[in-house]
Amino acid sequence: MDIIDLFCGAGGMSLGFEKAGFHSVLAIDKWNDAIVTYNANREKACGTTVDIHDFNNEELEEIKSKNDIHGIIGGPPCQGFSLVGTRLTNDPRNSLYIEYVRFVSVIKPDFFVLENVPGLLSMENGKFKEDIIKRFSELGYNVSYEVLKASDYGVPQSRKRVFFIGLSKNIFGNNHYFNFDVVKKREQVSTSMAIGDLPSLRNENSSNCYDKKPQNDYQKLMRENSDILLNHQGTQHTEQTVKIISMVPDGGGIKDIPEEYYSVRNYNNAFRRMDSKLPSNTIDCGHRNYFHYKENRVPTVRESARIQSFPDLYEFKGSKTSQYTQVGNAVPPLLAFSIAMAIKEEMNNIKK
């Protein structure tokens, strides 16, 4: 069952679907570093930086004829929809989902999965949400949506994202909508459960060797077939930063340090430590204000990738700053896997 991934980034959503038995035949993203990472982690490189606007309908028809495409997945850039920033309704990135609609209109897949930030639902009093539903409905899809919390699906992170899933009326029937309740939930995984087996960087700046055996099922899953540690390089902080963060307890933040230090980074989310007993807060693209639950530093790219549920075999390319951004922008593979398995079950049911 072939899929196309639009705005694929480093490949988190593709990976989840691939683990569920789907096969990626085309992945598009304009960021070269992300595509280099995407292709480096797959036997067959199908990622491209060709502008999505440059795929004309004739080319899409040709891609359709050469492959057995069942689904289109992906998340149009979320900056325009995000609750963070100005949320400009004329942000040109807001219209990229229309290109997504065009791909669906030509390919006519059995299903589509469109992921975005929850802020999309309320933007312009629901204008964009309603527009998405209307456009895909007119193409012959029953569309349902839900805000999912990654930590409910075995991802050690409290990230929330909205997913729109459309099922073709021609395939699933006129009145069949995807039921998000069938997406299998998993036991909650804390940050210490997620990264506690990774080597300490207190006395060195990087490590490519495991020094502990996996301590739980999540760590075993992440380390499957991996015998070398990738992307585990520490960040050098100033003496002042190390001193300040050393005062913050496990799960604490700026309110736990003396007021005399507030002027360094005076906002509520500054100097947060992960809580070792809970899933991580959302891994973003900066990581400069979110510290390891025990060590006085930001998490490494590998630790961030673990918190996103990328397996240790998955190598991120480019500069360290670029790697952090690739990880932060990704859809957690385990969350994508849970969705993919539920869709696969729906597809199997219609064949019975």
Separation of alpha carbons 199 and 232, rounded Å: 9
Structure tokens, 199: 């080597």
Nearest to 196 by CA among 224, 165, 219, 178: 219
Separation of alpha carbons 274 and 303, rounded Å: 12
What sign results for the dihedral spanned by CA atoms 57, 339, 329, 122? positive
Q: What residues act catalytically?
A: 78
A 10 A CB-CB count for 16 gives 24
Concatenate the DSSP letters of all residues of 118-143 into one string.
Answer: THHHHGGGGHHHHHHHHHHHHTTEEE
Specify burial of residue 263 (Cβ count, 10 A radius: 0-12, 13-18, 19+).
Answer: exposed
Nearest to 114 by CA among 122, 106, 123, 128: 128
- Residue pair 167/160 in contact (Cβ under 8 Å)? The answer is no
Structure tokens, 74: 């992906």
Helix (H, G, I), strand (E, B) or coil at 46: coil
User: What are φ and ψ of residue 163, in 5° steps?
Assistant: -120, 125
Distance of CA 103 to the CA centre of its chain: 21
Spell out the long-range contacts of 123-128 with Cβ–Cβ below 8 A and sequence spacing 24 or more: 123/81, 123/87, 123/89, 124/89, 127/89, 128/81, 128/94
Q: Which residues contact 300 (CB under 8 A, 6 or more apart)?
A: 198, 201, 231, 232, 233, 234, 235
Helix (H, G, I), strand (E, B) or coil at 2: strand
